[in-house]
Amino acid sequence: MSLEERIEGLRVRIQRACEAAGREPTSIELLPVSKKQPLSLIREAATLGFTRFGENYVQEGADKAAASPNLSFVLLGPLQRNKAKPALQHFTEIQSLDRPELAERLRHLAEELDLVRPVWIQVDLWDEATKLGGCTETDLPALIDSLGGDTRLPLRGLMAIPPPEDKAAFIQMAVLREHMQQDLGQSLRLSMGMSGDLEAAIAADSDQIRIGTAFFGERSY
């Protein structure tokens, strides 16, 4: 199956999921996850209208960003403090902010580098943080406080990796987003849903789905 055919298949799934949920397909951002995918395939996707791509590893994403200045790359994977500087330099957004010490490091570097980078908080409500990263609901206030309303690191939304096939987990995230919007007095986007569970994510009002295999095909490791 060609890349164009896979994308068309995804659009059909998104359309059907939106019809079932009473949503407009245009309200869903399809973010291709390009980790371990060759630049040639990423550039082919660009010819089909995609300009933003998600990457899990700082070095791999930084190399791709340097080779493709006309495209934007979003960091999805866990971020260590010692890789914070190249992450800020090469990624247009950080979606895996999950602890106060990382927020403080990013704030210091953003000031030093004189740049603005939107951030998303990666949330874990299901005790998956040890393998996937994420901030617990209990620790969210401390993490938000550590951002300090810094205009160089504007908070865009919440990112999560709910347990597969657990529809209640997606609803949990939707409820958390609503509560946080009320507490913070600002809109927050919600990023959840991957190749196998995008329908559950759309039903729970996710604004962004992150699609790897169903978009690009199997990865080359």
**CA triplet 132, 134, 136: central angle to 5 degrees?**
130
For residue 126, pLDDT beyond 60:
yes
CA dihedral (69, 74, 75, 76) in degrees, to 10, reads -150
Q: CB under 8 Å, gap of 24 or more: what pairs does 136-139 form?
A: 137/176, 139/99
Distance CA 191, CA 210 (A): 7
Over residues 22-71, the pLDDT tens digits come to 999 999 999 999 999 999 999 999 999 999 999 999 999 999 999 999 99
pTM: 0.94
Q: Whole-number mean pLDDT of the chain? A: 95
The set of residues, in sequence order, having a beta carbon less than 8 Å from that of 98 and lying 6+ positions away, is 78, 121, 122, 124, 129, 133, 134, 135, 143
Classified by CATH at the fold level, domain 3-216 comes out as TIM Barrel (3.20.20)
Write the pLDDT tens digit of every residue in 162-204.
998 788 999 999 999 999 999 999 999 999 999 999 999 999 9
